[in-house]
Structure 1
Amino acid sequence: MPETCSQGRSDGAGLFDPIEIGGVRLRNRTLLPSMTTRLADDVGHVTDATIAYYRARAEGGVGLVTVEMASPEIAGKHRFRELGIYDDTFLPGLRRLVAVLHEAGAAASIQLGHGGSRARGAVSGVTPVAPSAVPTPVFEIEHEIAVPEAMSPERMRETMDAYVAAARRAQQAGFDVVELHGAHGYLISQFLSPMENTRTDSYGGTLANRARFGLEILRRIKAEVPGLAVIFRIGVEDFFPGGLTAEEGMQVGRWAERDGADAVSVTAGHYRSLPAAERMIPPMAYPAATFLDYAARMKEHVTVPVIGVGRLGDPELAARAVATGQLDVVALGRPLIADPRWVAKAQAGEPVRRCLACNHCVTDMRSGARLSCVVNPVTGREADFADASAPTGRRIVVLGAGPAGLSYASLVADGNDVTVIDRADRPGGAFRLTGLAPRFNDVAAAEPTFAAYIGELERDCRRKGVRFRFGAEATRADLHDADVVVVATGAHYRLGLGTVVPRLLHTRAARSSVAARLFASPRLRDWLYYRLRAGRGADLARRLPIGASTEVVVIGDAARAGKAREAITSAFDAALHRSSLHARTV
């Protein structure tokens, strides 16, 4: 790959070519965008868990790490355990975090975002403020209709001062870049939205007036914090009547460049989006590269680098978007949660652990939990796995090629002789059926997503030397001399439903509107997926013709029928920790 840096348009550039943003050199054109982790302490200080999470992504090769949204003032805090930057007391932890990112070779950014009307009083301890006193539905562990206080000119100046002070603090901490969050229904976005901004002064009405608040903050940071690069993040389309339109969003992008933005980050969606707020973080039923056309349109209006986001986790797709000049930098949020080494693996041509776009990471975090992932149980637990390692020098037989069996085989493949045996004619097990159901977690299911995930897992296993036998039973010869036998045969339906459910899922009825309404019921999904299924791995393990010294481990649904995240977690824990609540050693 060429090693020359470029500024502006990137037609013909490679995903792994360097680029500059405001004089800051990125080693490649990938970026970790801001995603709340809840890994800070109760006040907002950086913790060891915060450091471990971001270190993993930086060491995985990403070019620019954007540390999660931090409010410039306490009134803007919108989540419990939100990272803080509104006071100098946060500086020691932030300096420590930046040092780790730089040591790993990544440039460091932090998102300055103010919750506005979405900053619950229960979190901040003060009444939320916004451009106008428009009642706002808010969800932070529980639902609430917040009625913010409309900002006076003096209050707006106070908030602008806080943004500048936070940017200066970021520079003192060593950050190379700050990102102004002007998307997704937070304060700057609220000023841009005609529905949420009903002001009649110079900050309301016309688009130029509605954009004035965010652009003044941008101009002040560039003037008062010299040498600090600034990315302006704009949600170019709100997807609801009275929200910002794409045409207006492009104009705001042009103004941001005019007023000093060193890059424009293009996203879309809002908490008020129709048909649902999920459009901000498009789940699996949405097309790949959901917002790429918006980034490409912005490229026609600005000369500074354009950052794009939204279901770009297929390495070939991401590389093509850069090479064809549709964007300059690819933001990888959920893909880097699923696989922190996505960049290094993609650059080496290795399989990546594919994100399901199931939005578990988002929905679980919004319910109060620390960030986690269905397919990567290490996410949010990086410190717990710091000293974890797989066994070596063993002959291992894995019975079952579902997500738990494949995950285990992939994790232990290096340094071991591993064989995976499954009675089915292809990998995936019952997980492939999940894509045929109307819903997975709380989003509409899409079969290609599960197939891509399983396909990349199998490819990774084969690349590491794992042998597969499909359409076969394990023989005495397979098992007797094995050092470890892993039972990952999945769960079985009770009451003779083992053939009925798969047949039903393969019919049109499973994708009907009636089925969608039924599957929207958590109680029905609980019965169908968990209560009507039973793990029989322990019974099978006792009947296996194994040698006296063979260790037998039961993982996934074979140990206990449950959710996919629990099954995959048991595989990780059994492979790397050698113990788990979800894995049984027989």
Structure 2
Amino acid sequence: MKKVFEPVELKNLSVKNRLVRSATWEGIANPDGSITKESYEIYEELAKGGVGTIITGFTSVALNDYYFDGMMRLCDDALIPEYKKLVDIIHTNGAKTISQLALGAYYRRTSGGYEQVEPDEMTAEEIALVKQQFIDAAVRAEKAGFDGVQIHAAHFFFLSRFISPAVNHRTDSYGGSVENRSRMLLEILDGIKNAAPSLHVTIKLNSSDFTFGGNEEEDALEIGRLLDKAGIDSIEVSGNGTSVGGIKAHVNEGYFVPFAKTLADNVSCPVIVVGGFRSLDVIEDVLNSSRIELISQSRPLLCEPDLPNIWMQDKSHISKCVSCNGCYRSDSHKCIFRNR
């Protein structure tokens, strides 16, 4: 029987419990990707709160990624000391940490500056550049002491768009079939495994694009199988259109669980699932009625960063998060009800 608060051994990663803080956007980094004092404080509070693993917020692999303001970045060796400080803060407070490596969009330099380029228009050289950016960022993460990296291929950011037939209409080896559209993911995975072998390498995938002409669950299942065969260390299941409102404990928790259970039955690597968990007994039931190994949360840990510690003392406690999504409209994405 799986227990939430028990140590778990994964490839290159030993964690103290099965609870994961899913990567959560903060938007408060400096323009060069360096870390602010507030960010250090956010992650220190999370680590002290008892979660076993923290996946850091969206961390771009490129300096000329203009998709968001306030992105953390691992695009320059000069940033490594700042990220090492972040890792040390998290480790000192008892959690392991994974850097979520991402690209909002690919931007091509033009005479007037930069323009966003979709997968169909990218040259072979540009595809190779993006792959190398992910690999180089993983090497920096390893040097900074991160326990792992997460390849962000969900939520319709660059990699999610690249693997989606709603966006990718290429006719070369990077387009067409699911295997061809997934080629970039597999090559990034292989490159990271070779360049930074000490890291746990996970990936965040949509269970569905929920978009006309996009990946459906059968496509996502095939992508998961391809990644598993290629040696991915774990897969976190999400979806294109996250943060569902109106979540109530014991009513509609775990909205990505059905697909995650199917995926877990079809791959050998551990599966993590995010999406609307509010009660410990539901989490325990999901873990023990499936091959899912870990549960990740975002909004509840914005509302109560110490939720894991609370659950260790009171198993009946229900998350105070009311799924209003006000956090995503607030500065640094903090719960709007905290400290009121």
Shorter-chain-normalised TM-score: which range?
Answer: over 0.9
Shift of 1:24: 0.9
2:333 is paired with a residue of what secondary structure?
coil
Does the aligned pair in 2 maintain the 1:15–1:323 contact within 8 Å?
no
Say which of 13, 28, 32 aligns to 2:21: 32
Distance 1:154 1:217, change over 3 A: same
Q: Hey, what does 2:238 align to over in structure 1?
A: 267
CA distance in 2, matches of 1:23, 1:89: 26
TM-score, normalisation: structure 2: 0.93
Shift of 1:352: 5.2
Does the aligned pair in 2 maintain the 1:70–1:77 contact within 8 Å?
no
CA distance in 1, matches of 2:231, 2:144: 22
Q: Hey, what does 1:164 align to over in structure 2?
A: 135
Does the aligned pair in 1 maintain the 2:265–2:291 contact within 8 Å?
no
2:90 is paired with a residue of what secondary structure?
helix
After TM superposition, the structure 1 stretch with the greater mean CA deviation from structure 2, 235-244 or 39-48, is 39-48
Q: Hey, what does 2:332 align to over in structure 1?
A: 370
- Which letter maps to 1:168? V
**Runs of 5+ in structure 2 lacking a partner?**
none
1:242 matches 2:213: yes
CA distance in 2, matches of 1:318, 1:375: 24
- 1:245-283 Cα shifts (integer Å, max 9, x gaps): 1011011111111112110111112xxxxxxxxx32211
Q: Hey, what does 1:130 align to over in structure 2?
A: 118
Shift of 1:56: 0.7
Q: Hey, what does 1:104 align to over in structure 2?
A: 93
Q: Hey, what does 2:325 align to over in structure 1?
A: 359
- Which letter maps to 1:75? N
- Which letter maps to 1:131? P
Distance 1:111 1:62, change over 3 A: same
CA distance in 1, matches of 2:280, 2:45: 19
1:218 matches 2:189: yes
Distance 1:107 1:162, change over 3 A: same
Shift of 1:33: 1.0
Shift of 1:326: 4.9
**Runs of 5+ in structure 1 lacking a partner?**
1-11, 133-149, 270-278, 378-568, 570-586
Distance 1:255 1:336, change over 3 A: same
2:9 is paired with a residue of what secondary structure?
strand
Say which of 332, 343, 348 aligns to 2:297: 332
- 1:481-513 Cα shifts (integer Å, max 9, x gaps): xxxxxxxxxxxxxxxxxxxxxxxxxxxxxxxxx
- 1:301-333 Cα shifts (integer Å, max 9, x gaps): 112110001001222211221122252111010
After TM superposition, the structure 1 = structure 2 runs for residues 362-401 of structure 1, keeping only pairs within 5 Å, are 362=328, 364-365=329-330, 369-377=331-339
Distance 1:340 1:291, change over 3 A: same
After TM superposition, the structure 1 = structure 2 runs for residues 496-507 of structure 1, keeping only pairs within 5 Å, are none
Does the aligned pair in 1 maintain the 2:279–2:319 contact within 8 Å?
no
- Which letter maps to 1:17? E
Distance 1:120 1:19, change over 3 A: farther
Say which of 9, 12, 36 aligns to 1:23: 12
Does the aligned pair in 1 maintain the 2:59–2:73 contact within 8 Å?
yes
After TM superposition, the structure 1 = structure 2 runs for residues 457-496 of structure 1, keeping only pairs within 5 Å, are none
1:227 matches 2:214: no
Say which of 52, 57, 80 aligns to 1:63: 52
1:345 is paired with a residue of what secondary structure?
helix
Q: Hey, what does 2:144 align to over in structure 1?
A: 173
CA distance in 2, matches of 1:322, 1:301: 16
CA distance in 2, matches of 1:317, 1:30: 13
- 1:190-243 Cα shifts (integer Å, max 9, x gaps): 111111101111101111111111111011111221111100111121112211
Identity %: 29
1:219 is paired with a residue of what secondary structure?
helix
Shift of 1:78: 2.0
Does the aligned pair in 1 maintain the 2:48–2:94 contact within 8 Å?
yes
Say which of 230, 251, 266 aligns to 1:301: 266
Distance 1:163 1:96, change over 3 A: same
TM-score, normalisation: structure 1: 0.55
Does the aligned pair in 1 maintain the 2:271–2:294 contact within 8 Å?
yes
CA distance in 2, matches of 1:221, 1:285: 37
Q: CA RMSD in A?
A: 1.8
- Which letter maps to 1:189? S
CA distance in 2, matches of 1:260, 1:285: 34
2:182 is paired with a residue of what secondary structure?
helix
2:165 is paired with a residue of what secondary structure?
coil
Query: How many residues in Structure 1 have an aligned counterpart in Structure 2?
Result: 333
Does the aligned pair in 1 maintain the 2:205–2:238 contact within 8 Å?
yes
Does the aligned pair in 2 maintain the 1:345–1:352 contact within 8 Å?
no
Shift of 1:91: 1.1
Shift of 1:49: 0.7
Higher relative contact order (CA 8 A, sep 6+): 2
CA distance in 2, matches of 1:95, 1:370: 21
- Which letter maps to 1:161? Q
Does the aligned pair in 2 maintain the 1:71–1:77 contact within 8 Å?
no
1:126 is paired with a residue of what secondary structure?
strand
- 1:531-581 Cα shifts (integer Å, max 9, x gaps): xxxxxxxxxxxxxxxxxxxxxxxxxxxxxxxxxxxxxx2xxxxxxxxxxxx
Q: Hey, what does 2:105 align to over in structure 1?
A: 116
Shift of 1:295: 0.9
Distance 1:324 1:230, change over 3 A: same
- Which letter maps to 1:358? C
- 1:381-412 Cα shifts (integer Å, max 9, x gaps): xxxxxxxxxxxxxxxxxxxxxxxxxxxxxxxx
